[in-house]
A and B are shown apart, each in its own frame.
Chain A
Amino acid sequence: MGTGKTATATVHTGATGAGEERLDALLALADRAIDRARPGEAIEAYVAEGVDTDIRAYQGEVESFTAATSAGIGIRVVRDHRMGFAWAGSLDDAVVAETVEAARDNAAFATPDDHVALAEPDAAPPVEVDLWDAGLAEVDATAKVALALALEAQARGAHPRVRQVSSADYGDSATSVVLVSTTGVRAASKRTSAYASVSVLAGDAAATQTGTGFSVGRGFGALDPDRAVADAVERAVRLLGAAKVPSGRATVVFDRRVASTLLAVLSSALSGEAVAKGRSFFAGRIGELVADPVFTLVDDPTDPRAFGAARYDGEGLACRRNVLIERGHLRRFVYDTVSGSRAGTASTGSAVRGGFSGTPGPGCRALTLEPDGRGWDEAQVVANVGEGLFVQSVTGVHSGVNPVSGDFSVGAEGLVIRDGRFAGPVREVTVASTLQRMLQSIVAIGSDREWLPGVAAGQTLAVADMQISGS
Chain B
Amino acid sequence: MTERDQAQHPVLRLSNITKRFGALCANDDVSFSLAKGEVIALLGENGAGKTTLMNILFGQYSADAGEVEVFGQRLAPGNPRAALDAGVGMVHQHFTLAGNLTVWENIVLGTQALTAPRLRARAAKARIADLSKRFHLAVNPDAKVGQLSVGERQRVEILKALYRDARILILDEPTAVLTPQESEALFATLREAIGLGLSVVFISHKLHEVMAISHRVLVLRHGRLVAERATADTSREELAALMVGGAVSAPKIAPMPPGPALMRLNDVSSKGEGHAPGLQSVSLSLHGGQITGLAGVSGNGQGALSDLISGLAMPSAGQLEIAGEAITNWSPRRALARGIGRIPEDRHHTGTIADFDLTENAVLETYASDFARHGWLDWAAARAHAEALIATYDVRCPGPDTAIRLLSGGNMQKLILGRVLETKPRIILANQPVRGLDIGALNYVHSRLAEAREQGAAVLLISEDLDEIIALSDVIHVISQGRLSPPFARGTMAPEALGRWMAGDGFAEVAHAS
Partners in one complex: no
Residues of B within 8 A of A (CB): none
Residues of A within 8 A of B (CB): none
